[in-house]
Chains A and B, each alone.
Chain A
Amino acid sequence: MTSSSASPRRALGALAAATLLTLAGCGTSGEQPAASGASSAAPAAAAKLIVIITPSPDNVFFKAEQDAAAAQAKKLGYETLVLSHDDDPTKQSQEIDTAISRKAAAIILDNAGADASVAAIQKAKDAGIPSFLIDREINKAGVAAAQIVSNNAQGAALGGQEFARLMGNKGKYAELTGKPTDTNAGVRSQGYHSILDQYGDMKMVAQQAANWDQATALSITQTILQAHPDLKGIIAGNDTMALGAYAALKAAKKTDVIVVGFDGSPDVVDSITGGGVKATVLQPAAKISEMAVDQADKFIKTKSTGLPEKQSIDCTLVNKDNAADVTNFAIKS
């Protein structure tokens, strides 16, 4: 991990070098970019290849997903290639082309869109490569070998229940939703409302898309507080938005406002321990990645996973009672 602890000065020096190199058409500097885009294992002659494709590892959730999948694949003796599609279906399609041309044995994919990804996954299937989807579903059955997703609806209902309990089942609240084009943004919002709308005394006074982004959530929360200074709670579609909302509340000295997030990211778990954000919903990202690799392994050896295509894994509520047991998207049970 030389790159992650590089000093600013070295980083700048390397920046200069890398810029020149990049512009000259060869993008490798001496340092090892572990995050994405590079083959994370030296090509071994016999080892079969598993290609792991996820959204940008800038989000710790996807980072945890990548790391868990790559570790499990290596443990089972596979070579791995870890790529990021940055939520761009076109880039994802090109990366699947790469997987096909490298004759991958399987693809582990957190896809870039429920409809936009179907053709690319079909393309891999036609080339004889099974895809194992994690985290996000696609809107077609029979294309992927498996779709293992956390149960967002169940998780959001858990989050909604805890939010209502913390609010004392009454008061004004605001909702920050994820990127409107992302299926999970809608599913989580519906999950929250399946619970919250049952309470007549809970009133949603604002609902805004903060696009999963921390700084956007901060800015929007500040504006919402202007219109509704008597806000009692904020429920966010993911943890980065919850952290952004909490930063706004802290600046406005309104830390008694209840904030609930979704994902179970380490930063929010720390915040819960410290009494900041009140609760989140843990998606077992690491477990799902490992399951996908295990099933890929079984499929490669026996041509079947022996399990149904769609598998839904329940989420767990995290609040101050169990925050200490949570590490890197996994909970001690």
Chain B
Amino acid sequence: MTATVKGETRSAPAPDGPAAASRWSPRAGLLLLLRGRTAIVLVLLIVVFHTLSPHYLSDSNLLLMTKHVSINAILAIGVTFVILTGGIDLSVGSIAGLAGMICGGLLYEGLRLPGDTVYFSAVMVILIGILAGTGVGALNGLLITRLRVAPFIATLGMLYVARGFASLRSDGGTFPDLAGRPARGNTGFSIIGVNTWLGLPVAVWIMVVVAAAAILVTTRTPFGRRVYAVGGNERAAVLAGIRTGRIKTATYMISGACAALAGLLLTSELGAAYPDTATTYELNAIAAAVLGGTSLFGGRGTIAGTVMGAFVIGFLSDGLVLVGVSAFWQLVVKGSVIVLAVVMEQAQQRVQARMAAH
């Protein structure tokens, strides 16, 4: 038994870190290219769209595209934690929608208690929204770790349930005005989605903070190492004394919190909350993670890669709109890029394995 475990720990994960190619060879060069594939694709996209439209590289368009990216990047960062443990979270789009509806309702009509209506400040509303998302994530985690429901199924179920509750919150309607009233002391919700700070949209700053925190957590904390360990080889992790259930539940909570935050940014920018907010966004988030080199089998991937993946998807989608490509071709191009990225990832694995064999 011990022998098997040793054998398995050997294959335990190392983050896709800067394992430098010490000796230069054509193969090492190829590996370097493959490692940097997401960045290369991004540069290619920028070059192509820049030649197609003079507006693509303008300051204001770069800012706008980065702002559009921030929503998906935040969703994708949360999802990356889950995928690193070998799980999947299909419910993030619905959680974003639910959080948006909860906050929209609190701002628009307040919390109706018997005989009184309570209004919370915008900051409180945002905290409640994120807390709600974290709670739904915790529920995902408990379903998966305690009730042994497969992550795909548990979060697929939550995709429907959370979307259903988002609709129930308003009986299907839209909360059309989230500006708040000074008399109720709940103005300011628009700051996170609309305002800028030091020349950058607040949403972009939030993405930067979330990404920096996530990079720190994954690379510099015991929790981060355990996340990789659980995804790399769960049995080995259990035998190493890691409480895998807690780690997994925590990643679903992180994912839920990120999803809620993204939902609030969307809702804030739109100035309205509707139950369909962020429908199918989970697919964009998972695509960003995979594009950035996160393996769906767990244990391999980086937050920086995911953010880069989100930039590729966002810069691609906005570029296609800017140049005026038809909606149908947009789908074809986006899908092809995602699959191509995974093909390149597989190529990288093969080259890496061959080099390790030498």
A and B: interacting chains: yes
A226 near B64 with CB under 8 A, answer yes
Stretch at the interface among B128-136, B221-229, B236-244, B348-356: B128-136
Given the known interface contacts A58-B275, A208-B324, the answer about A222 and B64 at a Cβ–Cβ threshold of 8 Å is yes
A6 near B169 with CB under 8 A, answer yes
A7 near B165 with CB under 8 A, answer no
Given the known interface contacts A180-B327, A215-B270, the answer about A11 and B165 at a Cβ–Cβ threshold of 8 Å is yes
Instruction: List residues of B (224-271) whose CB comes within 8 Å of A's CBs.
Output: 266, 269-271
Please, how many angstroms separate the alpha-carbon atoms of A313 and B318 in the complex?
39
* Most chain B CB inside 10 Å of its own CB: which residue of A18, A35, A271: A35
B167 near A35 with CB under 8 A, answer yes
- What residues on A are CB-neighbors of B112 within 8 Å? 5, 7
- What residues on B are CB-neighbors of A240 within 8 Å? 174, 274
- What residues on B are CB-neighbors of A307 within 8 Å? none
**Interface status of A308 (Cβ within 8 A of chain B):** no
Would you give the 0/1 interface string for B60-78, flagging 1 where the beta carbon is closer than 8 Å to chain A? 1100110010000000000
B139 near A19 with CB under 8 A, answer yes
Instruction: List residues of B (281-322) whose CB comes within 8 Å of A's CBs.
Output: 318, 321-322
Residue of A nearest to B273 (CB): A214
- Residue A60 contacts which of B164, B174, B194 (CB distance < 8 angstroms)? B174
Stretch at the interface among A118-126, A134-142, A243-251: A243-251
B270 near A247 with CB under 8 A, answer yes
- What residues on A are CB-neighbors of B276 within 8 Å? 56, 58, 213
A226 near B61 with CB under 8 A, answer yes
Please, how many angstroms separate the alpha-carbon atoms of A5 and B176 in the complex?
16
- Residue A15 contacts which of B55, B136, B269, B328 (CB distance < 8 angstroms)? B136
Please, how many angstroms separate the alpha-carbon atoms of A247 and B173 in the complex?
18
- What residues on A are CB-neighbors of B53 within 8 Å? 227
* Most chain A CB inside 10 Å of its own CB: which residue of B111, B135, B270, B278: B270
Q: How far is the CB of A106 from chain B (nearest CB, A)?
A: 24
- What residues on A are CB-neighbors of B132 within 8 Å? 8, 12
Would you give the 0/1 interface string for B146-175, flagging 1 where the beta carbon is closer than 8 Å to chain A? 010100000001101110110111111110
B327 near A4 with CB under 8 A, answer no
- What residues on A are CB-neighbors of B271 within 8 Å? 247, 250
**Interface status of B106 (Cβ within 8 A of chain A):** yes
- What residues on A are CB-neighbors of B274 within 8 Å? 58, 214, 240
Given the known interface contacts A6-B168, A35-B168, A35-B172, the answer about A15 and B162 at a Cβ–Cβ threshold of 8 Å is yes
Residue of A nearest to B65 (CB): A223
B327 near A206 with CB under 8 A, answer no
Would you give the 0/1 interface string for B213-226, flagging 1 where the beta carbon is closer than 8 Å to chain A? 00000000000000
Would you give the 0/1 interface string for A56-74, flagging 1 where the beta carbon is closer than 8 Å to chain B? 1111100100000000000
- Residue B157 contacts which of A19, A180, A209, A247 (CB distance < 8 angstroms)? A19
Would you give the 0/1 interface string for A209-227, flagging 1 where the beta carbon is closer than 8 Å to chain B? 1010111001110111011
**Interface status of B337 (Cβ within 8 A of chain A):** no
A218 near B269 with CB under 8 A, answer yes
* Most chain A CB inside 10 Å of its own CB: which residue of B60, B109, B168, B269: B168
A226 near B58 with CB under 8 A, answer yes
B102 near A180 with CB under 8 A, answer no
B174 near A223 with CB under 8 A, answer no
- What residues on A are CB-neighbors of B161 within 8 Å? 15, 18-19, 22
- Residue B324 contacts which of A5, A8, A206 (CB distance < 8 angstroms)? A206
A23 near B157 with CB under 8 A, answer yes
Given the known interface contacts A15-B139, A23-B157, A227-B53, the answer about A3 and B171 at a Cβ–Cβ threshold of 8 Å is yes
Please, how many angstroms separate the alpha-carbon atoms of A266 and B276 in the complex?
18
Residue of B nearest to A179 (CB): B327
Please, how many angstroms separate the alpha-carbon atoms of A23 and B160 in the complex?
11
- What residues on B are CB-neighbors of A206 within 8 Å? 324
**Interface status of B105 (Cβ within 8 A of chain A):** yes
A247 near B174 with CB under 8 A, answer no
- What residues on A are CB-neighbors of B279 within 8 Å? 213
A207 near B324 with CB under 8 A, answer yes
Given the known interface contacts A7-B112, A251-B194, the answer about A58 and B167 at a Cβ–Cβ threshold of 8 Å is yes
Please, how many angstroms separate the alpha-carbon atoms of A16 and B138 in the complex?
10
Residue of B nearest to A2 (CB): B168
A19 near B106 with CB under 8 A, answer no
Please, how many angstroms separate the alpha-carbon atoms of A33 and B160 in the complex?
14
Residue of A nearest to B100 (CB): A215
* Most chain A CB inside 10 Å of its own CB: which residue of B65, B136, B165, B279: B165
* 7 interchain residue pairs of minimum CB distance: A209-B327, A4-B171, A226-B61, A57-B172, A267-B176, A8-B102, A227-B55
Q: List 30 A-B contacts (CB under 8 A).
A: A3-B171, A4-B169, A6-B169, A8-B106, A11-B102, A15-B161, A15-B162, A19-B139, A19-B143, A19-B161, A57-B172, A58-B274, A58-B276, A59-B172, A63-B171, A180-B328, A206-B324, A208-B327, A214-B174, A215-B270, A215-B278, A218-B270, A222-B68, A223-B61, A223-B65, A223-B321, A226-B58, A227-B322, A240-B174, A247-B272
